[in-house]
Amino acid sequence: MSETRYTEQHEWVRVEGDEGTIGITSYATEQLGDVVFVDLPEVGKTLAKGAEGAVVESVKAASEIYAPVGGTVTAVNEALGGEPATVNSAPEGDGWFFKLKIADKAELDQLMTEQKYKDFVKGL
């Protein structure tokens, strides 16, 4: 069973075992506008919690995507190179950025549950 947690910067991490899949929320894509380019991390790169993991460029701005938890990058979504708009059409599905082996699962406790994130966005 997977569990998804969220950051105040609108990243999400879907946890399955020791691996986390990282992306951005629908709210984030609405703020960014149409995504035109994605710069992904190298597989094998170690990221600390809060470190820049990827960069997404839209018609409005460029924005960093931060690692919600620390770990080592195990995979990147190569499909985004040819189809960056997938981030807009499926932000919490096929529009994921990278996967990592989570170094410390206790860091997940500092992130918001889905309901807390929904409440957070309502207050924006």
- For 41-96, write each residue's pLDDT tens digit: 999 999 999 999 999 999 999 999 999 999 999 999 999 999 999 999 999 999 99
Q: What is the pTM of this model?
A: 0.96
Given a contact cutoff of 8 angstroms between Cβ atoms, the answer to whether 73 and 45 are in contact is yes
Res. 11: pLDDT tops 90: yes
Phi, psi (rounded to 5 degrees) for 112: -85, 145
The mean pLDDT value of the chain amounts to 97
Mean pLDDT of 111-117: 97
- 47 CB-near residues (< 8 Å, 6+ apart): 41, 53, 67, 70, 71, 72, 73, 100
pLDDT of residue 9: 97
Fold of the CATH domain 3-103 = OB fold (Dihydrolipoamide Acetyltransferase, E2P) (2.40.50)
Which residue ranges make up each domain of the chain? 3-103
- In the prediction, which pLDDT does 2 show? 87
> Residue 123: which residues within 8 A CB-CB, separation 6 or more?
none
pLDDT bin (cut points 50, 70, 90) of residue 1 is: confident
